[in-house]
Amino acid sequence: MNGSTTGTSTGTKTDGRVERGNQTRRLVLARTMDIASVEGLEGLSLGRIATELKLSKSGVFALFGSKEELQLATVKAAVVVFGARVVAPLADIPPGARRVRELCRSWLAYSRERVFPGGCFFYAVGAEFDARTGPVHDAVARTHHDWTAYLEHALAEARAADEFAAYLDAEQVAFEIIALMEAANARSVLLGDDSAYDRAERGITARLRSVATDRGRTALADPA
């Protein structure tokens, strides 16, 4: 009986430590994502985070080990936030032209509403690491590749649903759409020009209509 009680007590203590560690990790990453979106991933340091959040430096070090590990964890955490904010809300929209349009609108809202204070997290850190090499560069590059591939796939699905023309070049259209998105993000962040998002949406919608079939144009039409 005593052995069982001791084992239960030990397990409870272990679970408590793990949960506290997880809570601290979430607290740290919430802050590092905000910092990185404004100052870049190089703006992160274990000491800075410990000081700002009033945590022990040794505790933060135990969770991440190094600045590079902290940077990589921050990128990974931002991917989760991006997925929850941009992609997850579209789960009930079937493949097609409307899903593509709503995906683009979701991205523009994510930047416009400053989910990250510096605008699009990945645009910011992409510009910071584009000419570098190493694990952090590779992680950042992967996020750009994955997002582009996701948008290309959504376009291809709409083409397969006969809502975009058979001649649609998904890679080309995705490139143009992302260019408009990133231009709106950059102009808004630098110049405080919120109208850039409206211009980007009009440009994206016009581009989608240019390759839409009659069925696709109906799907792209906003309800009266």
* pLDDT tens-digit series, residues 151-168: 999 999 999 999 999 999
pLDDT of residue 185: 98
pLDDT of residue 10: 60
167-186 residue pLDDT tens? 999 999 999 999 999 999 99
| Averaged pLDDT of the chain | 93
Calpha distance 77→86 (Å, rounded)? 14
CA angle 175, 176, 180 (to 5 degrees): 115
29-62 residue pLDDT tens? 999 999 999 999 999 999 999 999 999 888 888 8
Calpha distance 200→209 (Å, rounded)? 14
CA of residue 26 relative to chain centroid, distance: 16
- Residue 141 pLDDT exceeds 70: yes
190-202 residue pLDDT tens? 999 999 999 999 9
Q: What one-character-per-residue DSSP string does 36-65 give?
A: HHHH-GGG--HHHHHHHHT--HHHHHHHH-
80-133 residue pLDDT tens? 999 999 999 999 999 999 999 999 999 999 999 999 999 999 999 999 999 999
With tokens 């032209």, the residue in question is: 97
Percent of the chain scored above 70 by pLDDT?
Answer: 92
Amino acid identity, position 102 = E
Superfamily for the 2-220 domain: Tetracycline Repressor, domain 2 (1.10.357.10)
pLDDT of residue 27: 94
Please report, for the chain, the start and end positions of each structural domain, with discontinuous segments joined by +.
Answer: 2-220
